[in-house]
Amino acid sequence: MKGFLLFIILFFLAVSFESVNAASSKIDTVYFQQGDRLTGEVMSLNKGILKLKTDDGGTVSIEWKNIDSLFILNPLRIIKHNGGILYGQLYPSGKKGVCILQNENGETSTIELQSIVELIKLEKRILDRLTGTLSAGFSFIKATKVSQLDFSGNVEYKGEKTIFSVNYNIVLTDDGESTTQRQTGGASFDRILPNNWSALGKLLAESNSEFQLDLRTSILAGVSYNFIRSNSQILQAGGGISLNREFSGDLAQNNIEALIGAKYSLFILESPKISYDFDGYLFPSLNHFGRIRSEINTALNWEIFNDFYLKGSLFYSFDNEPLSGVDLHTDWGTSLGVEFKF
């Protein structure tokens, strides 16, 4: 439960310190294809949605495809669909769907808006660079009297070329006779590289009472490539290596594993907004030949109102040779709940 308390504290810190910075005044303008415009502070573009903070309307979500031009004086990090990384400010060019980009040296160039898949405002304060999610779900199967409760949280810090994140997840399952738990938590580092490549590192701690796994601590490192990166979908795959140590009762074991993984996200921006996320990982052992582990997580989010979602999720874990020697090789679960993004 320490992980749970950590995320609650981080959440309230982020909310409590949310204030308007004088250096980041609402001086940006979004021009629409219909000729209308809206003034505020552009926060980000992600998954085809531009976030604009206004003086009187809170934060507004705008579909990227409906935008004709932008006037943004706050410094930005811009990522294009081909993996190009740019920095600077955006100005109207007088041509629909095209803006002028001015970098920190005052040099200018033109950029098509539909080539942009991500915008991040380069905040000066650390707290303003934090974003995150909190979600909780519950499921109950009457026939088997099995109930399941899950909680997860994630906090991200976005720098100019790096993303640091801390996450925690717990799933509690009760079959009327006993309660089992599955917990994962850790910190990760993602470095954006040119041409759709990125480097990643992760520190991870896990436990799973179904496999009688008391603790697994891991250090992972690898690289990934974005095969698809657009305002409607992302497909990313990569590989690396995992060094971990497992504890199960009196047993302990060191492992060296290859890491093969893939992530896919799909965004449907018509009302209601729906997003689908999938990530799967395969861990073939390099020092205990024949052992294979895998992890799959998938979620479907349905936006109820701004930043608040109905969420259905599923996880699946496989280990053909658990350290404990138990006959059980799979663990899975589903839940239906809510998620809040901040």
For the segment 21-36, what is each residue's pLDDT rounded down to a tens digit?
433 456 899 999 878 8
Whether 298 is in a domain gets the answer yes
CATH number of the CATH domain containing 116 = 2.30.30.100
- Mean of pLDDT over the chain: 87
- 280 and 173 in a single domain? The answer is yes
As for how many domains the chain has, the answer is: 2
What's the pLDDT band for 292 if we cut at 50, 70, 90? Answer: very high
Whether 144 is in a domain gets the answer yes
336, two tokens: 């239906």
For the segment 120-150, what is each residue's pLDDT rounded down to a tens digit?
888 777 777 788 999 999 887 655 678 889 9
Domain closes at, from 89, 122, 155:
122
Give the number of C-alpha atoms closer than 13 A to the C-alpha of residue 187, restricted to the C-beta side.
Answer: 4
Domain closes at, from 99, 122, 145:
122
* Residue located via tokens 């495809």: 65
- 112 and 137 in a single domain? The answer is no
- 114 and 162 in a single domain? The answer is no
pLDDT of residue 17: 39
For the segment 246-285, what is each residue's pLDDT rounded down to a tens digit?
999 999 999 999 999 999 999 987 767 899 999 999 999 9
Q: Mapping DSSP to helix (H, G, I), strand (E, B) and coil, where does residue 67 land?
A: strand
Q: Three-state SS across 92-153?
A: ECCCCCEEEEECCCCCEEEEEHHHEEEEEECCCCCHHHEEEEEEEEEEEECCCCEEEEEEEE
CATH number of the CATH domain containing 214 = 2.40.230.20
Distance CA 261, CA 221 (A): 12
Average pLDDT estimate for 38-63: 85
Q: Which residues contact 56 (CB under 8 A, 6 or more apart)?
A: none
Higher pLDDT, 231 or 281: 281
- Ranked by mean pLDDT, the top range of 40-54, 79-93, 234-248, 305-319 is 234-248
Domain holding 274, by residue range, is: 128-341
Higher pLDDT, 20 or 216: 216
pTM: 0.81
- 134 and 102 in a single domain? The answer is no
pLDDT of residue 25: 54
* Residue located via tokens 């009457």: 142
Q: What is the sign of the dihedral through the CA atoms of 33, 38, 39 and 40? A: negative
Whether 73 is in a domain gets the answer yes
